Structure 1
Amino acid sequence: MSYYYKISVLLLSYLLSFALFSKEIAITFDDSPRGASGYFDGPTRAKTLIKALKDHKVEQVAFFSVSKRLDDEGIKRLKSYNDAGHIIANHTHSHPDINKLSLDEYSADFLKADKRLSQFDNFEKWFRFPYLREGDTKDKRDGMRSLLYEHGYRNAYITLNNYDWYIESLFQESIKQSMNIDMDRMSRFYVSVLMEGIEYYDELAEKHLERSPKHVLLLHEMDISALFIGDLVDELRQRGWKIITPEEAYTDDIAHFETDTVLKFNPGRIGEVAIGKGQRKGLWHKTLDEKYLQQRFEQEVLSKPNLSNEN
């Protein structure tokens, strides 16, 4: 057997092993078309985000959209995502908290969004509950489950939770105050925080499912997403993750799981599974704590760097 043949066999074995055992993750963005009056305006955010996804070979993501924001600019922004091949899905009309409305009020809001968002060619009947809250009573929870089924909708759960929206608020407030943000440090902070949460929830899944499912990452359509999504994708791939489409992610068996517990506050699908297994603590990782994030932001982004430790 020749040396080159042996090398080829070893290389093929390595590639097959990587393909079989790499962890999988789909990317989704909530709240589109989200307000844009800070670092980027809406069209610039969309253009930057679309380019970043294309440049980093992310085939498709999903934008869970709030139809109340469909003014002329909002429609154009969603159309640009649609025309780039990405999915447009339902995130209600006005982004209400189901815990604060009756089932009838919440249902009407959901149906209004269904009607307005159906104008987009890539619209899918996927619904993500705002704040991930699915009902603080059994009647609300089961009523929404029935309504989704009646209208042919999928419950577009997430498995990987984070507070990227709070990181965005820290970033935008610093820009507003004319602070000099080092974008390299900002990127490292963003990627580090998100990876910390991703790996935590994947470990939680391994504990309770004894496997790593096809994950669904919750992000928001924001400026920091447009600026740093490429860096996050690079880091994921470097750590052995494979980027898949949301449609592929929702073929996982975990998509059929429904918790029996009425949850006023929902930690996401992995948290629901953990609760079913008896876990009551550690459902919200520390990266979902505003004080923790603010302290890290001040230390890792705003503080003067120690030049002796900088690359």
Structure 2
Amino acid sequence: MRTRLVMAGLVLLLTPADPARSQAIEPVCPSPHDRTVAITFDDLPYARAGDAGGQELAAVARATNEAILAGLAVRNVPAIGFVVDRRVQALGEIGQALLQPWNTGQFELGNHSANHPDSNTLDVDAFRREVIDGEATIRPMVEKAGRTLRFFRFPYNHLGDTDQRREAFERVLGERGYHLAASTIDTSDYVFDAAMNGHWRDPIRRWPAGSKTLT
């Protein structure tokens, strides 16, 4: 049984771009000791929620969240969990419960849209709806805890495939008070899905002829 929760990555957290301001800022290369990264997890509360398996994934979703949070806590690593609201709803009552620990201490919740669409295919109204609907669960949770919902991550890191789209999407995020969380280093763990499911679970089987090893 696959226990992967999300796609994890190291990211830089960025403010929505202002073209005029961007041109006026000289790039700065910090010393190695001044460089920082953020650890983030996408597709909370569980990557497969809402797909095949549905409620049957509740137990493994809980165990996976607990294992990840425990691993981060024991190493004192802060992290942001980006939520897809559809996946919260798919898990029912447990969906919101799994997010509660991500809304405390050194952990933080972020918006990863309502349905995880490819933003390159959306017009501005559809994108705005994805952003707002993506807040349905997490904004009340965050504000009740006295926190601010600060970060949005685009599904697939697709910020819009034209200047017009990108600028329109940035305006929407600015209106909602978001900073852009763009992934700069990605584990790409999803490429191993086939090895974790179906007949790949049988350790006796071998990769089929013609398969390529992923490195």
Instruction: Flag the 1:123–1:179 CA change in 2: closer, same or farther, 3 A.
Output: farther
The superposition leaves residues 29-54 of structure 1 with CA deviations (integer Å, 9 ceiling, x where unpaired) of: 1111122667x711101111111111
Normalized per residue, which structure has more helix?
Answer: 1
Which residue in the other structure is 2:157 paired with? 132
Report which stretch shifted further, 105-114 or 121-130: 121-130
Q: CA deviation at 1:81?
A: 2.1
Contact 2:80–2:102 (CA under 8 A) maintained in structure 1: no
Matched, 1:27 2:27: no
Which residue in the other structure is 1:218 paired with? none
The superposition leaves residues 101-136 of structure 1 with CA deviations (integer Å, 9 ceiling, x where unpaired) of: 222112111111124311223552211000000112
Contact 2:43–2:87 (CA under 8 A) maintained in structure 1: no
Which residue in the other structure is 1:100 paired with? 121
Which residues in structure 2 correspond to 1:20-59 (within 5 Å)?
21=33, 24-34=36-46, 35=48, 41-58=60-77
The superposition leaves residues 219-273 of structure 1 with CA deviations (integer Å, 9 ceiling, x where unpaired) of: xxxxxxxxxxxxxxxxxxxxxxxxxxxxxxxxxxxxxxxxxxxxxxxxxxxxxxx
Which residue in the other structure is 1:82 paired with? 103
TM-score (norm 1): 0.47
Contact 1:50–1:84 (CA under 8 A) maintained in structure 2: no
The superposition leaves residues 48-83 of structure 1 with CA deviations (integer Å, 9 ceiling, x where unpaired) of: 11111112221x100011111223121111112223
CA distance in 2, matches of 1:150, 1:74: 28
Q: Which runs of 5+ in 1 are unaligned?
A: 1-18, 182-290, 298-311
Instruction: Flag the 1:123–1:87 CA change in 2: closer, same or farther, 3 A.
Output: farther
Which residue in the other structure is 1:113 paired with? 134
Which residue in the other structure is 1:288 paired with? none
* Paired residues, number: 165
CA distance in 2, matches of 1:125, 1:177: 40
Which residue in the other structure is 2:190 paired with? 165
Which residues in structure 2 correspond to 1:1-311 (within 5 Å)?
21=33, 24-34=36-46, 35=48, 41-58=60-77, 60-70=78-88, 71-83=92-104, 85-120=106-141, 121=145, 122=147, 124-167=149-192, 169-173=193-197, 177-180=200-203, 295-296=213-214
Contact 1:89–1:123 (CA under 8 A) maintained in structure 2: no
TM-score (norm 2): 0.66
SS in 1 for 2:135: helix
CA distance in 2, matches of 1:171, 1:123: 39
CA RMSD in angstroms, aligned pairs only: 2.8
CA distance in 1, matches of 2:150, 2:38: 17
SS in 1 for 2:113: coil
Identity value in percent: 25
